[in-house]
Each structure stands twice: as structure tokens, then as C-alpha cells.
Amino acid sequence: MLVQRIMLIPFVYHILFFTVVTAARVTEKFGFGLDRLRSQDTKTSPKPLTPAEQPLQFPQWLEAFTGLKSWPGNEPPYIPLDFIDFSQVPQIPAHNQGQCQGLVNACSFDCFNCISYDDVYTCPRLSQTFDDGPTPQTIKLVLDGGLKDKLTFFTLGVNVVRYPHIYREVVRHGHVMGSHTWSHKYLPSLLNEQIVAQLEWSIWAMNATAGHLPKWFRPPYGGVDDRVRAIVRQFGMQLVLWNMDTFDWKLFDNLRTEQEILGDIDKYTLSNQGLGLVLEHDTTLATVNLAINIQKKLPKQMTVPQCVGGIDYIKLFKE
């Protein structure tokens, strides 16, 4: 019962994140390794929290599994997991964002818009998705006057443990939660172990907060190649990309206006027969207000699992 959740958790202007998996059962199923690294950083902690925003306690089962006593900062430590086999991960060189030379056969989405057989990137009905939360702004989306349909949120572990009550409220309203890493790193630039760390801590945060293991994963910046994919698949997760980017984060610098984005939605709907997945962010009041106005144009939206006939979560744990 104690060691009941070991799996994973996921920040910037359009950026913030967390995840976890249940130990006992996950151990049964995957046989977790017991080696562990010590946390190397405990920085972070932005603005003061109100009483309603108490960060999530570090659970005993995760302390027992990791040997740590608190949630990590933006550089989560790698904790070995028995079910991860690095020998099955293709040896594609790590690279920074925008460095696309030599990646022709690596199926990079951000470099070449390459999609693999099990990537989800569209939907039978044009549907909104939200990245980088939860944040204090997220709550407006789930209250009266917010979203009418159940949608999909790709969360950052760091934000999940910072705003657990908001995360749970989104879940309570029936939306589907996916992982967006622990701290919003460009995954193709990381070592395999660092990628695992971004995924496992994100999952652990989600599991510790709401008792579920995510099925759906969206890579920050769309940064994914076959090396990252191979690791995501070993967690049983599936990649979710998009085919309509609102660039809503540009509202912040007035590089785009809400009217321009709403016009793009209209054009996209007309030229794509109402199909697709829309990329948005539940990070600022401007993006959240935009989201509410976009949804007025898009009736009967679907969650990602509804789009593809899949499951909401890999596993749900009852308390």
C-alpha cells in the first residue's frame, strides 16, 4: 500500500511542469530497479503560495523508492527503472533545437514534421489541447463559463506538485490528463537517462496527485525523434502532436492578437473539414480567455483518447 506508486512527473513563459507511477503494482508489473540517485538540486520556488496552493507533499512510497525526501527542481535525478532497456533505444545523436543536420532517418517531428506509426496528431473533430499547466489560470477553463466539452491537458510535473488542487479539479471535471515532462526540456538534447528522469518524475507527480498513470505524452517544443520515441514507448505512453498551432503564447508580447488567432481557427476549419488537434496553453489569462472563445467555434470536441479510440490512463489507483 505504501510503496504503491512509482511512476512519473513535469515551466518559462509558456512553460512550467510534473508525474509518478505506483510502486507495488508497477513493481509487480515492471519490476523496478532499486538503485537510486540522490537529488542534486532543490532550487526553485517562485512566488509565495496562498494556503489553497500548498505544494504536494512528497509521498512516503516515493521516498522509499527514490531515497529522496522532496520533489526535485528543474533538473530531476535519474532513478533507474527495471523496465527501461537502453539497448533497445536507437543511437541517434543528441542535438539542440534547430540542429537538424544528420537527422534525416531519425523521424524528427520538430525538424521535419515526421510522424511515426503510433503518433497521434489529428482527430476526427477539431479539438483543443492544453500544454504547460496546471496554473492558477487553468481553473477558469473548468468552471462555469469555461469549457463545455471534455478535453486534454498535458501537464508539467513541476506545476502538478505546485498546484495539486488545481490538477485534481481539472480531473474532477472529467478532462484527460497527459504528461508534458517534468520541467519542459527539449528532450532530443538530453542523455537517455535524463529523458527517463523527465518522464518518470512527471508520471510520479501525476500519480501522487490523482492516482493515475498517464497514457498520453506531448513533447515540449514538439521535440521528438526516434530515440525519444523509443523511451516514451517503454513507459507505455503514446506521443500526441498537433496539426493546428495557435501560437497563443505570442499574445503575451502582442506579437499576435486574439482576433488573428480566431481567424486562423476559422480558416483551418474550412480547409480541413473540421479535423485536427489544436495546440494551446493554459498558462496566462490571455491564453485561457482565447481558449474559451475558440471553444465557442468548435462544438462537440473530443479528448485525445476519444479521437483514437484509446484509454484515458494506463492505470487508475483507488485509494
For residue 131, give the H/E element and its range. Answer: strand 127-133
Using CB under 5 A as the criterion, which residues of the chain lie in contact with Zn ion when the complex forms?
Answer: 131-132, 220
The yes-or-no answer on residue 131 being catalytic is: yes
Instruction: Give the residue with the Cβ less far from Zn ion, 4 or 183.
Output: 183
Q: State the minimum distance, in angstroms, from the CB of residue 60 to Zn ion.
A: 31
Instruction: Give the residue with the Cβ less far from Zn ion, 22 or 179.
Output: 179
Q: State the minimum distance, in angstroms, from the CB of residue 186 to Zn ion.
A: 10
From the list 14, 110, 131, 175, the catalytic residue is: 131
Instruction: Give the residue with the Cβ less far from Zn ion, 65 or 153.
Output: 153
- Cβ distance 130 to 153 under 8 Å? yes
- Cβ distance 91 to 105 under 8 Å? no
Q: State the minimum distance, in angstroms, from the CB of residue 143 to Zn ion.
A: 23
The yes-or-no answer on residue 281 being catalytic is: yes
Helix (H, G, I), strand (E, B) or coil at 273: coil
The HSE-up count of residue 70 (CA atoms within 13 Å, CB side) is 11
DSSP-assigned beta bridge partners for residue 5:
22
- Cα separation, 87 vs 69, in Å, equals 31
Q: State the minimum distance, in angstroms, from the CB of residue 87 to Zn ion.
A: 30
Instruction: Give the residue with the Cβ less far from Zn ion, 132 or 225.
Output: 132
DSSP secondary structure string for all residues of 139-186: HHHHSTTS-SS--EEEE-HHHHHHSHHHHHHHHHTTPEEEE--SS---
Any idea which residues carry the catalytic annotation? 131, 281
